[in-house]
Amino acid sequence: MSLPEKLHAPDLHAKAAALNAAYRHHSAIAVLARALHDPDVGQLALVSSFGAESVVLLHMVALARRGTPVIFLETGMLFTETLVYQQELAERLGLRDMRIIRPDAADLNARDPAAKLNQTDPDACCALRKSVPLSRALSGFDGWITGRKRYQGATRATLEFFEVEEGANRLKVNPLAHWQRGDARTYIEENRLPRHPLVAQGYPSIGCMPCTSPVAPGEDERAGRWNGQDKTECGIHFLDGKMIRQGESV
């Protein structure tokens, strides 16, 4: 029986609060290992973009529980470098359960046949190519692991290790929530992990090719995402058939 079946929303919030209290001063790897092995947490998947800092959590998962399902959203608009990096990194880390998720072909043909929706309605494009496929991929899981961090913006400033995904009645685990700027780079260097090739070309945050641009020295690391638009996150989700905005990235 999965966690959403065992616990109603109030109980799930209580569980998240208890987990946060117990692990408030623990390291990222300790939080992740606990989440992956605690039967009360349930079955988790790591959602990874295989972007600039994704190797950190992928490496931690490979150490803590190599068979953890890893969900990779192949939107059809990713950089070639990202696709090559995903294949090479998954093989190097020995990830045993890679799940490459793509948008529904019929949905693409109906709503974005010319692949230009990102130019007129980027929110709808993110929903079509990311959030809806992710929701389908997470069906049956009790929660999922993200790489979000508090310093990445106002919408993440109070981020906790464990939280409840409203509407889905499942947990979200954020092992890197308390990391500071530069911690990921230090981890990558100390563990001699390969970086995404676009990082060296000025891309500290990497998403779909049409909506990602290089960042100038001194700019915020996410300044190259949807540059020039009133948009900072790709977290469009569906609840009761209606599209809602959430302050998060997939």
Where are the chain's structural domains?
3-200
Q: Which pLDDT belongs to residue 224? A: 63
Q: Which pLDDT belongs to residue 8? A: 55
Share of the chain above pLDDT 90, in %: 61
Q: Please determine, for residue 225, whether its predicted confidence score (pLDDT) is greater than 90.
A: no
Least confident of 48-57, 129-138, 221-230: 221-230
Q: Please state the three-class secondary structure of the chain as a single string.
A: CCHHHHCCHHHHHHHHHHHHHHCCCCCHHHHHHHHHHCCCCCCEEEEECCCCCHHHHHHHHHHHCCCCCEEEECCCCECHHHHHHHHHHHHHHCCCCEEEECCCHHHHHHHCCCCCHHHHCHHHHHHHHHHHHHHHHCCCCCEEECCCCHHHCHHHCCCCCEEEECCCCEEEECCCCCCCCCHHHHHHHHCCCCCCCCHHHCCCCCCEHHHECCCCCCCCCCCCECCCCCCCCCCEEEECCEEEECCCCC
pLDDT in tens, 172-221: 999 999 999 899 999 999 999 999 999 999 998 899 999 998 887 777 77
Q: Which pLDDT belongs to residue 32? A: 96
- CATH no., domain 3-200: 3.40.50.620
Catalytic residue among 125, 126, 208, 234: 234
pLDDT confidence tier of residue 60, bands split at 50, 70 and 90: very high
Pick the residue with more confidence: 2 or 34?
34
Q: Is 211 a catalytic residue?
A: no
Share of the chain above pLDDT 70, in %: 82
pLDDT confidence tier of residue 171, bands split at 50, 70 and 90: very high
> In the predicted model, what is the mean pLDDT of the chain?
85
Pick the residue with more confidence: 99 or 42?
99
User: Which of 150-154, 184-188, 229-233 is the most confident on average?
Assistant: 184-188
